Structure 1
Amino acid sequence: MMYEQQHAVSAAAAVPGTQQAPTRLHHHQQYVMGSSNNKNYKAAGVEGSGSGSRRAGDPGERLEIVDLSGLSLDTLPSPSLNLGIICKLDLSNNNLQNIPESLTARLLNVMILDVHSNQLKALPNSIGCLSKLRVLNVAGNLIEYLPKTIENCKSLEELNANFNKLSKLPDTIGFELTNLKKLSVNSNKLMFLPRSLSHLTALKVLDVRLNCLRSLPEDLENLINLETLNVSQNFQYLESLPYSIGLLISVVELDVSYNKITSLPDSMGCMKKLQKLSVEGNPLVSPPMEIVELGLHAVKEYLSEKMNSGHQSASKKKSWIGKLVKYGTFNGSNNLNIGHREEREGFIMSDYRSIDGLASPRYTGMFSPRRLFSPRSYFSR
């Protein structure tokens, strides 16, 4: 599974919440910045704008798109344009080494900020003032850390920080950016992901390839909406996957290629929505390559059979049976037909009193590992 490099934010991205279609201000139009470094910035009329100007916050105000990309800018002088009316600001493909704190703090209505392909070493702390920011693209810079204030961007849905020098992410980022749907931090120097990342319950895409990851967070089961996970090309660093990866009930594409993984967790045999699995470039022993070559269905059956046959320790099986049932990976009804009960509210079984009761003698036979993990129930087509 290969991703295309996504440096630029689409110019056609929808900007919800505007009362009129945003007028595009090109770099040669009304973003009057004076002159700096012997550069002259021309001012002209706004395309399609009516006579007179409106103050930001006025009813019926027009939110604007400002494009200053590809101008080889070294600095950003103070603009005369009211920054409060900008909904998208594109500063990509320049030579900027910093973004002024005062400028960022005044972008109160910006929803899309694109500064990819510059020479930025850090983001301004005032980025935390951008309460309406939904898309942030800082890819292709020299950024070594993200400011903690980024956690105040509560509306953020997409963060692209590919091709930087990040060695860590803010520890509590997962507790704060609860609307985040896409996180791309590939091609950095990350050794670990914060444990709070498992609390990003709205996350659909997580791309952490081409880093130095030693491990993944243990509690991945909370990522209930995750559809695409790419942890490939961490090479000699990533040697194993957490057992909870089998609880990622929405994952469709999983790429773990080119690592040092020798064994896939048996729980991956229960990833009922998984359609594409990439494991090449690993010294896999379990499943063996002859099974891998037969395709995804064979891999899932192998892992399920292995779980069934008792290769797991009894204590690990006991602790994970409850979680697998709780999160809907297993059904627990007599026919164990998962396909007919995919829609679960809260992932709590209504047929039985509690998950803790699964370990009682009353339910031991009904929920034995051999019955729960039977490939005849889960992988029949």
Structure 2
Amino acid sequence: MGCFCSKSTDSRTSRIGRWNATGIVALRDSKLKVLPDEVLEVNNNVRTIDLTNNNISVLPPDISKFVQLQRLVLANNVLQRLPNTLPSLRSLKILTLDGNKINTLPDEVGSLSKLEQLSVSGNLLTCLPDTIGKLHNLSLLNVSSNKLKSLPASIGSCTALEELQANDNNIEELPASLCNLNHLKSLVLNNNRVNQLPQNLLKDCKSLQNIALHCNPITVDQFQQMTAFVEFEERRKKKYDKQINSNVLMNSKGLDEGIDL
């Protein structure tokens, strides 16, 4: 572990005192290569740790001491893996790992039973662990800009999922279990290799309002011939009508069809 040198007069004691008082450890843009020792001296009731925009390559196993941690943000570092002590973070709700060098998510990620948002865009993932299906409270999953060729069938067990972002991968086929996601509102799959969707997706996912499939081989005809396409279109247009009524500006092309014409 290393020491943390501040450019200000902020002392180690005052930082620890502030972090204890607020429950927030904020060390963005601090040029860190390791997690400072003093972070691990903070009380166990810390709720947020934000280490965005550093050069941290390893997260120490001792991070597991923060059993009350709800938000862990490690975006834009150089992490290659996560510690196997991850399950100890049993209160974690938000885990942000965008812009690292992670090529594998450990099976232990499925033990984060309270997790609501998992974002791992801009990494080197070639697959997701089957244990992701144990995340029954997950509402947002962002796996964009990786090297995924598929999504695990177990994703259909993420019954609270509302938004799935998987842009810029190599996904060719989607599991039929996506049809189990009754709360799914947005499915974003631009820049992949998807040539068809599960036939009953629009029928079974009755909350689905947005599908983005730009730069995929699937055709408009295929999409429009899917079961319950008309009902999906009604939901989608109703969503945009609400946005217009709320003075939300649309792009110059109007209503995005979600697929290349």
TM-score (norm 1): 0.57
Q: Distance in 2 between matches of 1:47 and 1:123?
A: 25
Change (3 A) 1:48 1:74: closer
Shift of the alpha carbon at 1:207? 0.3
Partner of 1:97: 57
Report Cα offsets for 1:147-201 as digits up to 9, x if no partner.
1111111000001101001111111311x10000000010000101000111211
Q: Distance in 2 between matches of 1:77 and 1:201?
A: 38
Q: Which has the larger radius of gyration?
A: 1
Partner of 2:194: 238
Shift of the alpha carbon at 1:96? 0.5
SS in 2 for 1:183: strand
Please state if 1:156 is matched with 2:115. Answer: yes
Partner of 2:83: 124
SS in 2 for 1:113: strand
Change (3 A) 1:81 1:96: same
Q: Distance in 2 between matches of 1:258 and 1:245?
A: 20
Instruction: Pick from 199, 210, 227 the counterpart of residue 185 of structure 2.
Output: 227
Q: Give the aligned residue type for 1:45.
A: S
Contact 2:200-2:226 within 8 A present in 1 as well: no
Unpaired segments of 5 or more residues in structure 2?
238-255
Q: How many residues align?
A: 233
Report Cα offsets for 1:259-296 as digits up to 9, x if no partner.
0113224212332422363111xxxxxxxx5xxxxxxx
Q: Distance in 2 between matches of 1:48 and 1:196?
A: 43
Partner of 1:216: 174
Partner of 2:257: 277
Matches within 5 A, 1:24-35: 35=3
Contact 1:253-1:277 within 8 A present in 2 as well: no
Contact 2:16-2:41 within 8 A present in 1 as well: no
Matches within 5 A, 1:137-148: 137-148=96-107
SS in 2 for 1:45: helix
Q: Distance in 2 between matches of 1:127 and 1:137?
A: 14
Partner of 1:65: 24
SS in 1 for 2:146: coil
Partner of 2:241: none
SS in 2 for 1:128: helix
Partner of 2:33: 74
Contact 2:78-2:100 within 8 A present in 1 as well: yes
SS in 1 for 2:176: coil
Report Cα offsets for 1:41-94 as digits up to 9, x if no partner.
832536997xxxx9xxxxxxx561010110111112422623402110011100
> Quick one: higher RCO (CA 8 Å, sep 6+), 1 or 2?
2
Contact 1:70-1:93 within 8 A present in 2 as well: yes
Please state if 1:260 is matched with 2:221. Answer: no
Please state if 1:202 is matched with 2:168. Answer: no
Change (3 A) 1:142 1:131: same
SS in 2 for 1:97: coil
Matches within 5 A, 1:304-343: none
Shift of the alpha carbon at 1:34? 6.8
Q: Give the aligned residue type for 2:46.
A: I
Moved over 6 A (4+): 46-49
For the aligned residue pairs, the C-alpha RMSD in angstroms reads 2.4
